[in-house]
Amino acid sequence: DADVTQTPRNRITKTGKRIMLECSQTKGHDRMYWYRQDPGLGLRLIYYSFDVKDINKGEISDGYSVSRQAQAKFSLSLESAIPNQTALYFCATSASTGNQPQHFGDGTRLSIL
């Protein structure tokens, strides 16, 4: 089983809809992250959380919100989806000791029509 699981893997929806992407992890890490990846733009950080009570905005948080329901669960919401939010979304986790690498899920491909 994957250490970092994202659901759904693919989603097609319409402009204006509310969408939730979910991430769960079994690595026991405190830190969790949401990124989006677009061709030519690379990975950009949306939100991150260093523990259950901590939520921080990343580089491109406008139009997104997050919820850290438990140490192992971190969800990303698009309150009213728009076409330029079409992208590949990744969740990642890392340990809180030292400068540890982040470990990624396999992503959610989101298309907004």
Partner 1 sequence: EDQVTQSPEALRLQEGESSSLNCSYTVSGLRGLFWYRQDPGKGPEFLFTLYSAGEEKEKERLKATLTKKESFLHITAPKPEDSATYLCAVIGSGYSTLTFGKGTMLLVSP
- State the first-to-last Cα distance of the chain, in angstroms, to the nearest integer: 32
* Nearer Cβ to partner 1 (2/82): 2
Binding residues for partner 1, rule: CB under 8 A, are 4, 33, 40-43, 45, 48, 50, 58, 90, 92, 99, 101-107
Min dist CB 80 to partner 1, Å, is: 26
Q: Which residue's CB is nearer to partner 1, number 17 or number 51?
A: 51
Q: What are phi and psi of 22, to 5 degrees?
A: -115, 150
Please identify, using beta-carbon distances, which residue of 59 and 79 lies nearer to partner 1.
59
Least separation, in Å, of the C-beta of 65 and partner 1? Answer: 18
Please state, in angstroms and rounded to a whole number, the distance separating the CA atoms of residues 65 and 57.
9
CB nearer to partner 1: give 72 or 92.
Answer: 92
73-to-13, 30, 67 alpha-carbon distances in Å: 23, 10, 8
> Tokens 């989006």, residue?
36
**Min. distance of Cβ 61 from partner 1 in angstroms?**
12
**Min dist. Cβ of residue 51 to partner 1 (A):** 13
Question: Residue 83: what residue type?
Answer: P
Which run of H or of E encompasses 65?
Answer: strand 64-70
